[in-house]
Amino acid sequence: MRISFHGADRGVTGSCHLLECCGRKILVDCGLYQGGRELGEENAEPFGFDPAEIDHVLLTHAHLDHCGRLPLLVKRGFRGEIVTTAATRELSRLVMLDAAHLQEEEHRRSGDPPLYSIIDAFYVLDFFGRTASYGKPLQLAPGIRVTFLDAGHILGSASILIELEDGEKRKSVFFSGDIGNQGRPILRSPVTPEKADFVVMETTYGDRLHKPFQPSVEEFYKVIEETFRLGGNVVIPTFALERAQELLYFLREGVEKGRLSRSIQVFLDSPMAISATQIFEKHPECFEPKTAEMFRKGRDPFHLQGLHFTRETAESIAINRVSGGAVIMAGAGMCTGGRIRHHLMNSLDRENCSVVFVGYAASGTLARRIIDGAKEVRIFGREVPVRAKIETINGFSAHADQAELLAWHDRIGGNPLTFLVHGEEESMSRFAPLLKGRRVEMPSRHEAFDL
């Protein structure tokens, strides 16, 4: 029994972990590195293993940094089975096709070869096999049983318990995937097994606490009210999965409770977020009971009067004619591509506008430069002054904070050896000592351990 680490090791993106047991090679996630150009170049490097030898991929969820290199894995020889939940299967298809489309667009602009094409992304779909259901063990192969548990991070997200039996050896390895928050109104809270021998655990926010959630919602409403009073627009770089739907949920609530004007105009300017919202509506099995009940009664928790879905480019451009009183949500969440850059060009230099960041911004991204206080930023070859009000509301994060991560780990019995992944090195270094009395490793890229 052996585990090796090939992504999101002392870094936040590119999740990819390899487990070898019972004559099988099981990959947990195969994500894209995201951030500066240097990280982007790492995507094209060898995986650290032969893709043709991988028997199974277990996919925790559909974020690009967890599924985004699957088309490359197949392109380089993988012919095994991909296992995930029904919602993740649908969402990851959307995410991979969008990534391929953006790469092909970038190739036309710059001449840089894409990692994979739209055809490559479509081909991956042939390798999705059995569908996992939360809490129901699946016999992956002789001696290998896997159970997907609700991670509460995004729709369909899972933590994965792998129980191994190789002769006299019996071990269990629990992969956290990305861990969500407790007590949110849309998705259910994260689930853990009673015990495990080994834990592979994300530490994205292992060094900090989020702002309390309800005050964050109130802060969100306050920013919108103040910006509208000044006659400007609120621009929100938005992750298409989960964040877009959560913001729509609270915008609807804000209007219904009288916190926001009924005349508010909301533009969801992201074809992928629009499609993701429609996929959300198909999977009530993932929702908290109150939200699921809304669907059963024929109410859409993500819809409000004044909501506009803008799929077409011409519709997106037309938003620029709206000078005030609008909330504009567009991807990419880290401002690395997509339509958000056009809206930033139109709003960053306006003192009466606000740009609100409600998610993680990796080092080297345009989002991080703006958050860190840049006076001007380069967009489409132009220097754009930053005069708009910049707000960061961390309470909306879909990741557990330090306290929630510790509580999550404490619920797992058996004093497991814990491997910390998916966090910047400083975050991990601060989190590791908090696991008092526990055995902890912080693996480097391609480092392997015998279990």
For residues 238 and 37, the model is more confident at 238
- Integer Rg of the chain from CA: 22
Quick check: 295 pLDDT over 90? no
Integer Cα distance of 367 and 377 in angstroms: 10
Integer Cα distance of 390 and 376 in angstroms: 13
User: Would you state the pLDDT for residue 38?
Assistant: 58
Integer Cα distance of 76 and 97 in angstroms: 18
Task: Spell 409-428 as b/e; 16+ CB within 10 A means b.
Answer: beebeeebbbbbbbbbeebb
Quick check: 35 pLDDT over 80? no
User: Would you state the pLDDT for residue 338?
Assistant: 86
H or E stretch at 380:
none
Integer Cα distance of 431 and 451 in angstroms: 23
Q: 158-166 and 144-150 as β-strands: parallel, antiparallel, unpaired?
A: antiparallel
Which of 194, 182, 202, 93 shows the shortest CA–CA distance to 147? 194
Spell out the residues 6+ positions from residue 299 whose beta carbon is closer than 8 angstroms to its own. Answer: none
CA angle 384, 385, 388 (to 5 degrees): 115
CA angle 1, 72, 43 (to 5 degrees): 85
pLDDT tens for each residue of 97-141: 999 998 998 889 888 899 999 999 999 999 999 999 999 999 999
Residues 134 and 177 sit within 8 Å (Cβ to Cβ): no
Average per-residue pLDDT for the chain = 94
Q: How confident is the model over 168-175, as a mean pLDDT?
A: 93
Strand, helix or coil at 113? coil
Which of 47, 91, 134, 71 shows the shortest CA–CA distance to 279? 91
Alpha helix (H) ranges present in 68-187? 70-75, 86-110, 118-124
Confidence of residue 187 (pLDDT cuts 50, 70, 90): very high
pLDDT tens for each residue of 47-66: 999 999 999 999 999 999 99
Q: Is 8 left (phi over 0), alpha (psi -120 to 50) or beta?
A: left
What are the structural domains of the chain?
2-208+398-450 (3.60.15.10), 213-396 (3.40.50.10890)
Integer Cα distance of 258 and 255 in angstroms: 5
Compute CA 413 distance to the chain's CA centroid, rounded to the nearest angstrom: 27
Quick check: 94 pLDDT over 90? yes
Confidence (pTM):
0.90
pLDDT tens for each residue of 314-323: 999 999 999 9
Quick check: 414 pLDDT over 80? yes
User: Would you state the pLDDT for residue 168?
Assistant: 83
Compute CA 424 distance to the chain's CA centroid, rounded to the nearest angstrom: 16
Q: How far is CA 158 from CA 99, 114, 222, in A?
A: 22, 29, 34
Integer Cα distance of 29 and 422 in angstroms: 12
Quick check: 36 pLDDT over 70? no
Quick check: 39 pLDDT over 70? no
Q: Is 149 left (phi over 0), alpha (psi -120 to 50) or beta?
A: beta
